[in-house]
Structure 1
């Protein structure tokens, strides 16, 4: 099958070749309408257009001559946060990636966050930088998944939420970790439990399973999952802080909250403190991740420990094995999590 060309895209979009070129290259000298841009990008993804030979070799079977020209470089693509290397979760995964890559004499060819790029910048970053494979971290939608699969022959996902995307994955299963967290709260006698975090129905991402785990643990014990008890928040302290202030004003609060990560929990706990309530006497909190700060907040946060550096290290091991011909079928490695009991949860009878 012949690779797609600018002309193919132009014909299908019913625009000129120059218009397609300007959109893909983010040329604003003569900008196209938003509707035209969206139509062109949709066709780009459908046809799997790759603008240069370097990127094209990533999605085609390399010849034996090309195999000898491997770059010994891998890319890192972060999809959930702009300030990745200061993010308390992703920064540790990234460190594991860097350490393991160096161990195998691979270099980090590039590292960027897709969350702060427009479509043309993102597309050009992915398709114009030659690497042998890439590690992708974070949550993404179906369109982004298709873009990754078209442009990378060697790809591995590292994170909490399984993708089922037809490529390698190294996960610490957020679905099961969420069930574990909620079951712990239930074991303490809590029955009215709230949730703070992403709710898939409110987003377009395909790899987000924490709310599903929360709901499963609740329904398994015939506990109500009330719309008043779960709130969609971004995975930031500021978002959860503001949302918790709203919940406090609405009252009464659940006796405990499961938070989609520690950052969310810390923001919500701040709002509770400011309202003059006591943790855990008035409300208990549990998170996921076990970032360093979780052990130092007051009270220390009970959470699910995720081995973050190991996620990065094993992702690189599996990626390099694929690059060097070690395996062809998609594999998934599930790294175990651990419940870290600290001071932010208490049994209902001891409140």
Structure 2
């Protein structure tokens, strides 16, 4: 593999001149520039990214820790991150934590040893835990994304989950429903807590009774929705409507209800949360709360770039607002 010294020798110039031509850091005559570029092409020279990163003290690489999940929500957010990194000339190293704290720390060690310029955290398994991310390394600029450890001191990009839960419940109330239940996610997750609090606010504002038998928690997966609905079904008469706190759970609910001969929305109406791409293609298509997933990813990268550029020490919280998407899973009642 050709080196910069080989290029300099072939072009009859110094290595510093080659560097100035390639990096455009100083004026070099047209004739010499052409000789250098011709030597680069002839020798098929490619500058060493590692050597350059050591010299300029940055790698133009971000690391991202994300919880592995079957939920397409994560994939849609990562797509937004990758697109924005590409647009800004950055590489992304993606590490799955598998929901495992030990693996998360191992991945973090690897990323910091590779001298990433910044970190994006989207691993909810560390939420609520007091831990020191940088116990063995120098801190690097970090942005915590929705589903990340919100107690960690860093910039944060998050969904207004309380308002989303409120919007979902208000929609069911506006459609005439009074007997409304809520299938939450795991209540050790901040997003699940906030969506439930939005549900409670909407019910209390409307003077509607909250039946505790109709509030059931489950995992944010299809299986979680299935098990939560089975538990709800075992407790007696069903509500006329459910706010299900994510779309994957809602799909599990619709499938399980169908197996029991319960029709959505004729027998029970459902509002989901996230607006994953699949939500519009199931039957019935799912009324849900839209999270701007691509914008969440893009905003996280932009915030990280700003923190690096300005060397800002202070931390900020950016909250993205959800919106309601009406489809076919909610029936109006008199």
TM class, shorter-chain normalised?
Answer: 0.7 to 0.9
Q: Which structure: larger Rg?
A: 2
**1:147 aligned partner:** 132
Q: Secondary structure at the match of 1:70?
A: coil
- In structure 2, the gaps of 5 or more residues are 1-52
Rounded Cα–Cα distance in structure 2 between residues aligned with 1:144 and 1:321: 27
TM-score (norm 1): 0.72
Q: Which of 203, 206, 216 is residue 218 of structure 1 equivalent to?
A: 203
**2:83 aligned partner:** 99
1:180 matches 2:167: yes
Q: Secondary structure at the match of 1:214?
A: helix
**2:326 aligned partner:** 341
Rounded Cα–Cα distance in structure 1 between residues aligned with 2:250 and 2:256: 10
Contact 1:235 1:263 (8 Å CA) reproduced: yes
**1:112 aligned partner:** 95
Q: Secondary structure at the match of 1:89?
A: helix
Rounded Cα–Cα distance in structure 2 between residues aligned with 1:212 and 1:139: 19
**2:110 aligned partner:** 128
Rounded Cα–Cα distance in structure 1 between residues aligned with 2:285 and 2:173: 20
Give the count of matched residue pairs: 276
Q: Which of 33, 46, 61 is residue 73 of structure 1 equivalent to?
A: 61
**2:250 aligned partner:** 265
1:177: how far off?
0.7
Contact 2:186 2:220 (8 Å CA) reproduced: no
- The 5 A counterparts of 1:174-253 are 174-200=161-187, 203=188, 205-206=189-190, 208=192, 209-253=194-238
Q: Deviations over 1:151-199 (max 9, x none)?
A: 6431112226892643212222111111111111111121221111225
1:300 matches 2:290: no
TM-score (norm 2): 0.75
Rounded Cα–Cα distance in structure 2 between residues aligned with 1:160 and 1:122: 14
Residues 67/341 of structure 1: CA separation in 2 closer, same or farther (3 Å cut): farther
- In structure 1, the gaps of 5 or more residues are 1-64
